[in-house]
């Protein structure tokens, strides 16, 4: 069949069906992007994608390269409707997409902290790439919380497989449960969020973090990538020393917030 030219005859209703399917598909993509990136992020992504159509692919290429180098599996996108979680758990939750290593390094570099004192925790950790990347820093402990049993299993396998001569933290684990049910550790924290869920669940998680900071005042940072619900953080007045940036090549926006336990909600 190679090199053969096929000419299909399409009737007007046929063309209209395809057209409306495409429009519906585009609508779905835009809704997903708004949920994932927010309005500003979506506009920025569209501009980046027009200028450089390989933006989307570059994240997947970066993850594939990482997988090849370390013999792990972090690549791929999984829509929430294809996830092995109950229908009620799907509402308000995002699907899977891993953080490209370059973005992670750039964002974590913003934090000038003594890593040894901090526990790193990724709520909605997927296949666990952030856990592997964080283990290159001397964190006290590293925890990923993921509610998809399949992704949690892959993350556990990735942790087993990951071998790096420069790995600084060996205390890393993936926990298979809902992020909101996970008890917030009392240590100083770096909380990592790659847009795991929308406002309802985000509000609950922030309330948990806030309560924990009030009960046990300590340093808590929230690193929020593709921060579609960032307005919630300012509503809670958690943001003490914020930092906003974007990782251009991957069209990922991020914000870094510091939770102030003695300030609380106003
Ligand atoms: C965009 S992915 C980010 C994955 C990972 N944090 C990273 O940066 O590579 C969001 C993840 O959050 C998970 N997730 C969504 N809602 C969750 C919930 N309520 N509890 C735990 N995990 C959740 C999804 O299954 C998905 O793996």
Indicate whether 140 and 185 sit together in one domain: yes
- Give the separation between CA 244 and CA 226, rounded to whole angstroms: 11
Ligand 1 surroundings by CB, under 6 angstroms: 83, 93-94, 96-99, 122, 124-126, 129-130, 145-148, 151, 178-179, 194-197, 201
Residue 1 lies in a domain: no
Q: Quick: pLDDT tens for 188-242.
A: 999 999 989 888 898 899 989 989 998 999 999 999 998 777 777 777 665 555 6
What's the CATH code of the domain at 79? 3.40.50.150
Instruction: Give the dihedral sign, CA 194/195/199/204.
Output: negative
Indicate whether 129 and 112 sit together in one domain: yes
Residue 246 pairs in a beta bridge with 253
Burial of 9 (0-12, 13-18, 19+ CB in 10 A): exposed
pTM over cut 0.85: no
Contact (CB, 8 A) for 168 and 137? yes
Indicate whether 19 and 106 sit together in one domain: no
Residue 264 lies in a domain: no
State the residue range of the domain holding 127.
Answer: 58-259
Candidate of 108, 196, 205, 247 to mutate for ligand 1, largest count of ligand atoms within 8 Å of Cβ: 196
Residue 109 lies in a domain: yes
Q: Quick: pLDDT tens for 57-82.
A: 788 999 999 999 999 999 999 988 88
Residue 224 lies in a domain: yes
Q: Quote the ligand 1 centre to 102 CA distance (angstroms).
A: 19
Candidate of 79, 126, 192 to mutate for ligand 1, largest count of ligand atoms within 8 Å of Cβ: 126
Confidence of residue 5 (pLDDT cuts 50, 70, 90): very low
Q: What is the length of the chain? A: 266
Candidate of 124, 148, 195, 224 to mutate for ligand 1, largest count of ligand atoms within 8 Å of Cβ: 124
Nearest CA to ligand 1 atom 26: 96
What is the arithmetic mean of pLDDT over 134-141?
Answer: 98
Indicate whether 138 and 235 sit together in one domain: yes
Indicate whether 222 and 107 sit together in one domain: yes
Residue 129 lies in a domain: yes
Q: Quote the ligand 1 centre to 175 CA distance (angstroms).
A: 12
Residue 5 lies in a domain: no
Q: Quick: pLDDT tens for 114-128.
A: 999 999 999 999 999
Interior CA angle at 148 toward 39 and 205, to 5°? 55
Indicate whether 150 and 41 sit together in one domain: no
Q: Quote the ligand 1 centre to 93 CA distance (angstroms).
A: 8
Enumerate residues 6+ apart whose C-beta is below 8 A from 183: none
């Amino acid at each position: 069949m190679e090199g053969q030219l096929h000419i299909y005859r399409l009737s007007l209703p046929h063309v209209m069906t395809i057209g409306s399917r495409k429009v519906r598909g585009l609508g779905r993509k835009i809704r997903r992007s708004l949920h994932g990136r927010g309005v500003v992020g979506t506009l920025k992504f569209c501009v980046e994608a027009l200028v450089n159509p390989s933006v989307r692919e570059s994240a997947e290429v970066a993850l594939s390269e990482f997988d090849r180098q370390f013999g792990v599996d972090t690549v791929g996108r999984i829509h929430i409707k294809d996830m092995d979680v109950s229908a009620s758990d799907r509402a308000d939750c995002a699907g899977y997409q891993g953080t490209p290593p370059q973005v992670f390094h750039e964002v974590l570099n913003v934090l000038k902290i003594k890593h040894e004192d901090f526990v790193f925790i990724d709520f909605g950790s997927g296949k666990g790439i952030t856990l592997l990347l964080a283990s290159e820093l001397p964190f006290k402990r590293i925890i990923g919380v993921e509610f998809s049993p399949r992704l949690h299993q892959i993350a556990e396998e990735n942790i087993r497989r990951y071998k790096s001569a420069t790995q600084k933290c060996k205390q890393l684990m993936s926990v298979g449960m809902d992020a909101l049910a996970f008890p917030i550790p009392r240590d100083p924290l770096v909380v990592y969020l790659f847009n795991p869920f929308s406002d309802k669940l985000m509000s609950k998680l922030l309330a948990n973090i806030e309560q924990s900071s009030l009960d046990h005042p300590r340093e808590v940072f929230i690193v929020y990538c593709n921060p579609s619900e960032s307005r919630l953080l300012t509503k809670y007045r958690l943001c003490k020393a914020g930092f906003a940036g974007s990782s251009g090549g991957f069209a990922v926006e991020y914000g870094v917030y510091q939770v102030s336990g003695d300030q609380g909600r106003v």
